[in-house]
Amino acid sequence: MKGPHISDGPFLFWKNSLRASPDLSELRKSWGDSPLPFEAVSLTLSPKKSEGVFMKVRARSSLYRFATILSILLTVSGCGYNKIQGLDEDVKAAWGEVQNQYQRRADLVPNLVSTVKGAAQFEQETLQRVVEARAQASSIKLDAQALSNPEMFKKFEAAQQNLSGALSRLLVVVERYPDIKANQNFRDLQAQLEGTENRIAVARKRYVESVAEYNKSVRYFPTNLTAKYLLGLDTRQSFSAEDTAAKPPQVKF
């Protein structure tokens, strides 16, 4: 009595062994009196071993898939990796200049307040608002890493706008005091304040332009894939377009 054809037998029992691991006697019964042309034990996989084999296959498949996606990201339009890095550095540099100019203005406030304070019957409430506004603006620190945080950025911007408004009111009130306007020290401080406000406006403009270019690279395909998955970058916040924020205080002589 001849057993099943060898092209059917081993393949059939191999498939069955992966699912149920049949007993060796069943293999021999199927082949009859003919000797087995293979080691039957080698065709049998236990459920634990077969599960381990399939896990390794899946892991390798996932690794190959990830490597393929990564290679695509690195080759499609150059993936924009270097461009995004450059734009990110531009934003940081522009923000650093904004911070420098705001700090320069804050440093002028104490001397300005001291000069005005000596005038008889000067409005103390106006001076107090300037002092408090400066303290609030100086207390809010926002480094380049936090520029993607909308809440922190709004707090920083609001504090700086508050100081701008307080300084504007102070300069308006000074107009009613000819003796203060005639003080040379006060005139020098006015000139420095005016120059600083102009520098702030220029620094803000450069920052807004840098952020606009950076945000486009973070949002547009395919560079958005590089920004998100390779660099972990997000869009940066920019200054609002309010007229009061864009105009420096008017300094009159």
Q: What is the CATH number of the domain that holds 230?
A: 1.20.1440.20
What pLDDT is stored for residue 203 in this prediction?
97
Q: Among residues 74, 104, 130, which one ends one of the domains? A: 74
Which DSSP string do the residues of 166-221 spell out, in sequence order? Answer: HHHHHHHHHTT-HHHHT-HHHHHHHHHHHHHHHHHHHHHHHHHHHHHHHHHHHHST
Q: Among residues 35, 58, 74, which one ends one of the domains? A: 74
Mark whether 220 and 191 lie in a shared domain.
Answer: yes
Domain assignment present for residue 199? The answer is yes
Mark whether 113 and 149 lie in a shared domain.
Answer: yes
Mark whether 63 and 160 lie in a shared domain.
Answer: no
Domain assignment present for residue 252? The answer is no
Domain assignment present for residue 37? The answer is yes
Mark whether 241 and 127 lie in a shared domain.
Answer: yes
What pLDDT is stored for residue 196 in this prediction?
96
Mark whether 90 and 206 lie in a shared domain.
Answer: yes
Determine how many CB atoms are found less than 10 A away from the CB of residue 69. Answer: 12
Mark whether 49 and 128 lie in a shared domain.
Answer: no
- Ranges of residues in the chain with a pLDDT under 50 are 1-22, 40-45, 243-246, 249-253
Mark whether 44 and 88 lie in a shared domain.
Answer: no
In the predicted model, what is the mean pLDDT of the chain? 79
Domain assignment present for residue 147? The answer is yes
Mark whether 98 and 208 lie in a shared domain.
Answer: yes
What pLDDT is stored for residue 223 in this prediction?
86
Domain assignment present for residue 1? The answer is no
What pLDDT is stored for residue 242 in this prediction?
59
Mark whether 107 and 215 lie in a shared domain.
Answer: yes
What pLDDT is stored for residue 55 in this prediction?
64
Domain assignment present for residue 4? The answer is no
Rounded Cα gap, residues 162 and 252, in angstroms: 20
What pLDDT is stored for residue 219 in this prediction?
92
What pLDDT is stored for residue 62 in this prediction?
77
What pLDDT is stored for residue 124 in this prediction?
86
Domain assignment present for residue 47? The answer is yes
In 3D, which of 244, 239, 233 has the Cα closest to residue 210? Answer: 239
What pLDDT is stored for residue 51 in this prediction?
56
What pLDDT is stored for residue 10 in this prediction?
45
For residue 174, the enclosing domain spans 80-246
Mark whether 101 and 48 lie in a shared domain.
Answer: no
Q: What is the number of structural domains in the chain?
A: 2
Mark whether 116 and 87 lie in a shared domain.
Answer: yes
In 3D, which of 109, 100, 96, 95 has the Cα closest to residue 193? Answer: 109
Mark whether 33 and 158 lie in a shared domain.
Answer: no
Domain assignment present for residue 3? The answer is no
Q: What is the pTM of this model?
A: 0.66
